[in-house]
Amino acid sequence: MSLEAIKYDAQSQRLTILDQLKLPHESVYVEVKNAQDGHDVIKRMVVRGAPAIAIVGALAVALDVVETAKAEPDAEKVKQYATERLKYIVTSRPTAVNLSRAATDLLSVLAASSAQSGAGVANELLEFAVKMLADDVADNKSIGSNGAEWISKQTDGPVAAVTVCNTGSLATAGYGTALGIVRSLHSHNLLKHVYALETRPYNQGARLTAYELVHDKLPATLVTDSMAASLMARFPDVKVAVVGADRVAANGDTANKIGTYQLAVLAKFHGVKFIVAAPTTSIDFEMRSGAEIVIEERPAEELTSVQGVAVAAPGIGVWNPAFDVTPANLIDAIVTEKGVVENKNGFDLTFLK
């Protein structure tokens, strides 16, 4: 059975999400009923990963509006309420563009709606949000096959890959982006091995990617972030680094989990191909370069302790940026559901608009 981070039951209109703070030890689903719940689970990283937070945010607002519309028949008032909830949900986490793009799309649904009742407006929002869930899985499968095909053309036979953070089923509606490419390589017998970086400070690699790789029985090894250089130097069959994205600027600069940039520097040094995998919803054409991307800073405790156990000397100052920006010139290819864009003295992403 495939892992499901987000479950939506259309009959009961019930949204539940897998509590990623409890993984890999416990598999517990929590219900998200409204925008307040959605904001809370996104901010606390009960759900995380750019596509997953966009879907949960959209569904949370839609369900909130459905509930509100049961007592509010006026379509205009429901539209006002939905607008305010959408503005609120995007304040939960700033770096991934997918959530604010989903909010913009839902605002367009509101603007275009000719529904005469509050319930009519609410149902249009819900329909859109539910469709995001299905579309994401289909997009990830395309990213997976596009990426695997591109890699197979660059290399000779099966490869070992290295990845950072968690970009799999747990970060999306299913299958994953960078981890989708790993899954696709494996299904075509093109994967020798995958190395997952632990991804300090929040350990998405050790807790979540490792969980997915064990679940799917892929040939995989966990390493600390500080082992990446030695890994590339010692194992020449590591031919590709595949990573996800939280926001790709128009020039290809890519914000992703902290540690991605140093992996890209190491890949360049060792002649390892560096590939960003992302749905086109992660591309922000309004941002000309990565310099404009707002990087979320997380609480100090995520660094000074591991799952509640203190590991740092009390009183030490902490800098804890959740993401970094990899300059486009370190990226060989950006793989999307619409195709692969190669770095040809820069990226021309315009056809993905």
Task: Determine which residue in the list 15, 58, 96, 266 makes contact with ligand MRU, applying CB under 6 A.
Answer: 96
Task: Determine which residue in the list 167, 251, 326, 336 makes contact with ligand MRU, applying CB under 6 A.
Answer: 167
Where is 181: in which H helix or E strand?
A: helix 178-187
Catalytic residue among 246, 253, 284, 324: 246
325 binds ligand MRU (CB under 6 A): no
To the query of whether residue 246 is one of the catalytic residues in this protein, the response is: yes
Residues 243-272, one symbol each (x = binds ligand MRU by CB under 6 A, - = not), give -xxx---------xx---------------
194 binds ligand MRU (CB under 6 A): no
Q: How far apart are CA 55 and CA 49, in angstroms?
A: 10
Category of 247 on φ-ψ map: left (φ > 0), alpha (ψ -120 to 50) or beta: beta
The total number of residues written for the chain in this structure: 353
172 binds ligand MRU (CB under 6 A): yes
79 binds ligand MRU (CB under 6 A): no
What does R_g of the chain's alpha carbons equal in angstroms? Answer: 20
Q: Does the bond joining 279 to the residue before it have cis omega, within 30 degrees of 0? A: no
Residue closer to ligand MRU, measured from CB, 56 or 171: 171
Instruction: Tell me the DSSP string of 36-100.
Output: HHHHHHHHTTSS-SHHHHHHHHHHHHHHHHHHHHTT--BHHHHHHHHHHHHHHHTTS-SS-HHHH
Stretch that binds ligand MRU, among 22-30, 109-117, 167-175, 185-193 (CB under 6 A): 167-175
Residue closer to ligand MRU, measured from CB, 48 or 186: 48
User: Which residues are known catalytic residues?
Assistant: 246
Interface residue list for ligand MRU (CB under 6 A): 48-51, 96, 165, 167, 171-172, 177, 204, 244-246, 256-257, 322
